[in-house]
Structure 1
Amino acid sequence: MGFDNNDKRAWVERIMQADKKDVGIALSVIASNTSAATFLASVSLTLSSLIGAWLGNSSDNIFQSELYISLLTCFLLAFSCLVQSARHFVHANYLISTPDSDIPVKIVEAAVIRGGDFWSLGLRALYFALDLLLWFFGPIAMFVSSVIMVIILHYIDTNSTPLHRYRPPEARWSKGLEGLSEVAV
């Protein structure tokens, strides 16, 4: 959602090189991502359980059964991806918070990037399940929802504004008056 893997790598590298007292914000961000992934995974599992129970009780229309199986597949895929996302975020949190360690930045980068990738896949599965749910209201509702979803995802996935490159306060003030003029602008 606007961040590519290079931005994630730069963020992790800054965190790993920061003082341990400054790492708290990064750990809380990763913990928030873990909580969100866990919540969405539990919602996905609940919905797939409901659909599975509903599917088990009805055996009328074969087309409805295929739709239920497709929905069940989407929710189970979302559950799997979101659990993997939470797993990688917990692993990154553990690596960052390990005291007196010389863990390579690449390992933490990989955990954060994989967590973000699984998060994105899990959300995509939930978006697709939403479109399938609208099939119950007819093909027009599903088509309109699909078009709107493509437009929204295109808007979310494209980032034409470059992100601000963070410089620690020491680097800004170490240039003297030149650094002061850059900060003021």
Structure 2
Amino acid sequence: MEMKHLEYVMVPLGFTVLVGYHLWLIITIYRSPKRTVIGINAESRRQWVATIVSDPEKNAVLGVQTIRNNIMASTLMATTTITVGSLISVFVGSTSSTGKYRYILLCFLVAFLCNVQSIRYYAHASFLVTLPAGEGRKDYLAAILNRGSLFWSIGLRAFYFAIPFFLWIFGPLSMFFSCYLIVFVLYFLDFTRTSSYDPYGYVQKEEVNNKDIESVGQSGGNNFVANSCIHSPLLEGHIMTSN
């Protein structure tokens, strides 16, 4: 009875911490996307689309190959989730204790559906990237790519939610501490730790530098100055990676 009472307290508390963190993350993405890695990556994809669309004849193959890599990653995740989910469903059907396993199965089913939707959007983007330039095409393609990435992120979060439910099998304390550990790790993966990284102004800086290069070339400037203008934004930027 003491362990049962402990389960009534620890499990809801750990789950509340995990859900509360993601609600805070969603609010931060909408209000201050520059503080989150998800917001920065979304803006980076918009800049990537602008680069690809600027010269479709030259960059179409590169764009299709990049999107194909995302499709392969989503396909791998979808295959893994449906395989593990099938094994769990077989185990649930052969045992009497099914409560905790049903939550794990639900997480894997959500991950599978999200990865399937991600494949759908990426496949549609592979057609759009090869179309000739048109009005509004750049914004629409960026929106499709960001939606595909959003479903990929939700599917990955479903994996994270499955971990505490799995550890719940070994006791409520394992589930409780795993929730706090996951939130601690996700905080360092989701939020930026520097305010000097500015992907929003990178394209504008690049356009200004290109204009400066053209003006220097027209006025008879030397190649050394031009090369310095080309590489200065890259030297001033900061590189950031995420899961």
Q: Shorter-chain TM-score: what band?
A: 0.7 to 0.9
Find out whether 1:174 has 2:221 as its counterpart. no
- Give the whole-Å Cα distance in 2 for the aligned partners of 1:143 and 1:175: 62
- Give the whole-Å Cα distance in 2 for the aligned partners of 1:97 and 1:19: 7
Cα 1:162–1:18 change in 2 (3 A) is: farther
What does residue 183 of structure 1 align with?
Answer: 230
What does residue 181 of structure 2 align with?
Answer: 148
1:145-171 deviations in Å (ceiling 9; x for gaps): 222211221111112352552537955
| Secondary structure at 2:129 match in 1 | helix
Find out whether 1:46 has 2:68 as its counterpart. no
Cα 1:147–1:175 change in 2 (3 A) is: farther
Residue 118 of structure 1, CA deviation: 0.4
1:76-112 deviations in Å (ceiling 9; x for gaps): 00000011011101111111024x4637112211210
What does residue 235 of structure 2 align with?
Answer: none
Find out whether 1:121 has 2:161 as its counterpart. no
Cα 1:42–1:87 change in 2 (3 A) is: same
Cα 1:27–1:170 change in 2 (3 A) is: farther
What does residue 163 of structure 2 align with?
Answer: 130
Give ranges in structure 2 of 5+ residues lacking alignment.
1-35, 233-243
Which one of 8, 14, 18 corresponds to residue 51 of structure 2? 14
What does residue 124 of structure 2 align with?
Answer: 91
Find out whether 1:162 has 2:197 as its counterpart. yes
- Give the whole-Å Cα distance in 1 for the aligned partners of 2:84 and 2:170: 18
Contact 2:118 2:152 in 1 (8 A): yes
Residue 123 of structure 1, CA deviation: 0.3
1:119-153 deviations in Å (ceiling 9; x for gaps): 11000001111221122222233223222211221
Residue 172 of structure 1, CA deviation: 6.6
Aligned pairs for 1:64-83 within 5 A: 65-83=98-116
Contact 2:210 2:230 in 1 (8 A): no
Q: Give the residue type in structure 2 aligned to 1:174.
A: E
Cα 1:171–1:51 change in 2 (3 A) is: farther
Cα 1:142–1:175 change in 2 (3 A) is: farther
- Give the whole-Å Cα distance in 2 for the aligned partners of 1:136 and 1:86: 33
RMSD after superposition: 2.5
Instruction: Using the TM superposition, name which of 35-44 and 137-146 deviates more.
Output: 137-146
User: How many residues of Structure 1 are paired with residues of Structure 2 in the alignment?
Assistant: 180
Cα 1:23–1:3 change in 2 (3 A) is: farther
Give ranges in structure 1 of 5+ residues lacking alignment.
none
- Give the whole-Å Cα distance in 1 for the aligned partners of 2:141 and 2:181: 36
1:8-60 deviations in Å (ceiling 9; x for gaps): 2222122111242223333222111111111101111111111111111112x
Contact 1:92 1:111 in 2 (8 A): yes
Contact 1:172 1:180 in 2 (8 A): no
Residue 179 of structure 1, CA deviation: 4.6
What does residue 37 of structure 2 align with?
Answer: 2
